[in-house]
Amino acid sequence: MTNGKSMKELQAEVDQYISQFKEGYFSPLAMLARLTEELGELAREVNHYYGEKPKKSTETEKAIEEELGDLLFVMICFANSLNIDLEEAHDYVMNKFNTRDKDRWTRIDPESVE
């Protein structure tokens, strides 16, 4: 973790980048297709590193970190195109997990952690 940008800063940075192009943001359907493409590329990399499918000698090395970055960029573009504040979306989801799913998983006993 390098510079500790907030999600609002990330969304603003992506918006500033996209705003310099006449095309602007893609349509929601195109954005979903891009998100799906990037997720597939991430899945391929995870499969190469942790799965049963090693890379071919002709395939270039791509880091999982790079693929996650691509996925994050497209997700931010998608949110920006729909005027969705990702910090608010995150807060909503965390509240849901902390209420609806609060007893779903086995908690770590704080006394057993050294």
Question: What confidence score (pLDDT) does residue 5 get?
Answer: 94
Q: Which two tokens stand for residue 60?
A: 């270039």
Domain residue ranges in the chain: 7-99
Q: Which two tokens stand for residue 90?
A: 């995150």
Question: What confidence score (pLDDT) does residue 112 get?
Answer: 76
**Domain 7-99: which topology?**
Helix Hairpins (1.10.287)
Q: How would you label 8-19 residue by residue, b for 16+ Cβ within 10 Å and e otherwise?
A: eebbeebeeebe
**Tens digit of each residue's pLDDT, the chain (114 residues):** 556 999 999 999 999 999 999 999 999 999 999 999 999 999 999 998 898 877 777 777 778 999 999 999 999 999 999 999 999 999 999 999 999 888 888 888 888 766
